[in-house]
Amino acid sequence: MRIAIVGLFGLVAACSATPSPPVTLMKVRDVAAPCEVSYRDKGAERTARTRLARDLTRYVSRQPGRVAFAAHDLATGATFGHREHENGMITASGSKVDILTALMLRRDRLGDHERDLATRMIRESDNRAADALWWRVGGGYGMGRFYRQAGLRETVPGPSRFWGGTNTSPHDRIRLLKLLARGGKGLTPADRSLILSLMGRVVPDQAWGVSAAARPGDTVALKNGWTPRPFIHNTWAVTSYGRITGPGRDLLLAVQTDLQSGEGRGIQTIEGLSRLLGRRLDGLRATRTVQCHGRL
């Protein structure tokens, strides 16, 4: 019996009466195998954030009236803002999400009538529905208690029955959105799901504003506010805040404007800023790839 070694690794056994031929061993040379290594380029990311912050500030400085905003991408941790702690601008209908959130904290579940009121208040921005629910949460006193509970220290409820006169800051709008996105302060997942689903289904003619930051296929949940200010030089206050989610993105964005010449002018300012941010956000995550060589 003999054993023949074939190549470097194979073994073949066979029976034979004839003499075995000489065994030949194959020599394998070292070869270089190309490879790539990718890593986050934090230097490039810092540069991109600095440039975007500069361009956002430059954009805001060129707009009429007062403009304040805050942004926080929960996916990347990126934050931006301009006068984000200024709380001298009213929310108008933006406070309707506040009313519903406060109501959810007072109820184990909404009855059919309250759910109908909540739906009309958020999706259609129905003022009569807001009037009814404002008193069910205790008016300004009840809302003040809610703001303290939620940690919204820069938000002051409107006087008496004037929920639209609530003053807030972009910073507090982001805090509220974060509460809806991540939970806390007693809000259940069902509570948050209901509020965000209503914000995600506002009637089409009210879907303007921070939605301009969305890419095709992104999901938007928002609430806007707009009101004339006849006693302040016949100007307008226009606001928009919301959450935009999609692959690699969970953006919370709040933009408030005041002293605008009209509703359309305020919307144009908000959407221009939102579009600039949305277009550049993906560029804040930079990856660098380098070539390397291994040995076989």
Identify residue 126 by its one-letter amino acid code.
D
d(CA 166, CA 194): 23
CB 155 within 8 A of CB 167: yes
CB 221 within 8 A of CB 243: yes
CB 201 within 8 A of CB 184: no
Please tell me the pTM assigned to this model: 0.84
Number of H helices, E strands in the chain: 8, 11
What pLDDT score does 117 carry? 98
What pLDDT score does 32 carry? 57
Q: 77 to each of 68, 114, 252, how far by Cα in Å?
A: 20, 36, 11
- 39-289: CATH number: 3.40.710.10
Q: In the chain, what is the greatest distance between 2 CA atoms, to the nearest angstrom?
A: 115
Across the chain, which has 296 residues, the per-10-residue mean pLDDT values are 42 47 55 68 89 96 97 95 95 98 94 97 98 97 97 96 97 98 94 98 98 98 96 95 97 98 98 97 80 62
Identify residue 117 by its one-letter amino acid code.
L
Please, what is the Cα angle at 262 between 143 and 222, to 5 degrees? 45
- How far does CA 68 lie from the centroid of its chain? 17
Identify residue 210 by its one-letter amino acid code.
V
Here the tokens at position 277 are 């941010």
Residues in the chain: 296
d(CA 120, CA 127): 9
What pLDDT score does 172 carry? 98
Burial (Cβ within 10 Å: 0-12, 13-18, ≥19) of residue 129: buried
What pLDDT score does 284 carry? 86
Domain edges within the chain: 2-36, 39-289
Q: 107 to each of 78, 114, 136, 187, 292, how far by Cα in Å?
A: 35, 10, 11, 10, 61
What pLDDT score does 8 carry? 38
What pLDDT score does 108 carry? 86
d(CA 222, CA 278): 15
What pLDDT score does 24 carry? 53
CB 223 within 8 A of CB 97: yes
